[in-house]
């Protein structure tokens, strides 16, 4: 099976890379804008700008993938709100380019979506919940879902929530690292306690992509963590795990912060369908922190 991955330099792309390389029945092609950030990938990597339709067509026609996993997106919610043209180009136009190229080679298309397509009025949510985004990022991701659903392709849409993990070069932060770093420096932090999510370990999301690709699963699947937590809960659990001073953490509500983009208050996912049909089973949040801590030690030793 030939699998092409977009956004391979991103957090999810980096976690998906070893999963695909370890399966000898898969011939992968990892793509991203610019050079690969992972060592040893030159023979299976091609630079590709997904906003450039001609560039996409060239790579697809040369590789002829059986499955495409689109992990690329503009995910900075406030930046999406203030630079809507860039957001639409990255999250919708690019998907139109990828869908068109996938149609030409009859590839199964796997697209990563988000809980931010929902308004946050209730949760956790199953796959039948009705989308109603409250910010432009959510609007763009919902529009991309519509492109995929109307593509005529065989497709999977994998919706996820608050992905955390570390990249190979430690260049990207996440809520766990942010809490850990600030508390280690003795800084006080304010963390919201009126938003609810099912935080997702990046390795788990990568496994969800792999399982969907192997089965060429069709339809919408919720791929997230299994613990329903507020960011404040996440901060407290992080402090407890690393033995840090949780008295430095103050619980606040969302109105404390002024941000360009509204956030849905309560989302999180019910993952029963993915468990039953894909065999997906995520780590608990504590297990995820433990894995993260082990990876931090490995990075520090380099």
Please enumerate in sequence order all residues whose Cβ is within 8 A of that of 172, keeping only pairs 6 or more positions apart, or say none: 11, 166
- Report if residue 258 sits inside a domain: no
- Report if residue 252 sits inside a domain: no
Mean pLDDT, consecutive 10-residue segments, the chain of 302 residues?
Answer: 97 97 98 93 96 98 98 97 98 98 98 98 97 98 98 98 88 86 97 97 98 98 98 98 98 94 97 98 98 90 76
The pLDDT assigned to 97 comes to 98
Collapsing DSSP to helix, strand or coil, 252 comes out as strand
Number of domains within the chain: 1
* Structural domain containing residue 154: 2-165+199-227+267-283
The pLDDT assigned to 171 comes to 65
- Report if residue 83 sits inside a domain: yes
Can the peptide bond before residue 122 be classed as cis, meaning omega within 30 degrees of 0?
no
- Report if residue 29 sits inside a domain: yes
- Report if residue 185 sits inside a domain: no
- Distance CA(55)–CA(46), nearest Å, equals 11
- Report if residue 18 sits inside a domain: yes
Model pTM?
0.97
Dihedral over alpha carbons 43, 172, 26, 104 (to 10 degrees):
-90
The pLDDT assigned to 90 comes to 98
Identify the CATH number of the domain in which residue 18 sits. Answer: 3.40.50.720
- Report if residue 240 sits inside a domain: no
- Report if residue 237 sits inside a domain: no
Contact 87, 73 (CB under 8 A): no
- Phi and psi at 5, nearest 5°, equal -115, 130
The pLDDT assigned to 206 comes to 98
| Residue 232 tokens, joined | 């404040």
Residue 155, CA distances (Å) to 65, 93, 206, 280 in order: 14, 18, 17, 18
């Amino acid at each position: 099976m030939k699998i092409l991955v977009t956004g391979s330099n991103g957090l999810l792309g980096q976690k998906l890379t070893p999963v695909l390389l370890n399966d000898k029945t898969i011939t992968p092609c990892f793509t991203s804008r610019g050079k690969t950030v992972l060592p040893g990938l030159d023979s299976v990597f091609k630079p590709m700008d997904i906003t450039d339709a001609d560039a996409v067509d060239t790579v697809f026609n040369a590789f002829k993938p059986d499955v495409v996993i689109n992990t690329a997106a503009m995910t900075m919610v406030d930046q999406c709100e203030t630079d809507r043209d860039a957001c639409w180009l990255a999250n919708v136009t690019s998907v139109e380019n990828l869908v068109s190229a996938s149609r030409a080679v009859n590839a199964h298309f796997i697209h990563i979506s988000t809980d931010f397509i929902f308004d946050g009025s209730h949760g956790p949510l199953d796959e039948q919940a009705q989308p109603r985004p409250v910010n432009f990022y959510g609007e763009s991701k919902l529009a991309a879902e519509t492109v995929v659903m109307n593509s005529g392709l065989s497709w999977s849409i994998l919706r996820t929530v608050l992905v955390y993990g570390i990249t190979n070069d430690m260049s990207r932060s996440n809520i766990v690292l942010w809490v850990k770093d600030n508390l280690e420096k003795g800084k006080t932090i304010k963390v919201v306690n009126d938003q609810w999510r099912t935080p997702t370990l990046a390795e788990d999301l990568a496994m969800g992509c792999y399982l969907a690709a192997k089965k060429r699963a069709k339809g919408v699947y919720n791929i997230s963590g299994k613990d329903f937590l507020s960011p404040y809960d996440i901060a407290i659990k992080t402090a407890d795990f690393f033995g840090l001073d949780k008295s430095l953490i103050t619980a606040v509500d969302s109105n404390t912060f002024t941000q360009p983009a509204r956030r849905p208050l309560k989302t999180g996912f019910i993952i029963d369908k993915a468990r039953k049909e894909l065999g997906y089973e995520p780590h608990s949040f504590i297990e995820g922190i433990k894995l993260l801590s082990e990876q931090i030690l490995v990075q520090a030793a380099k």
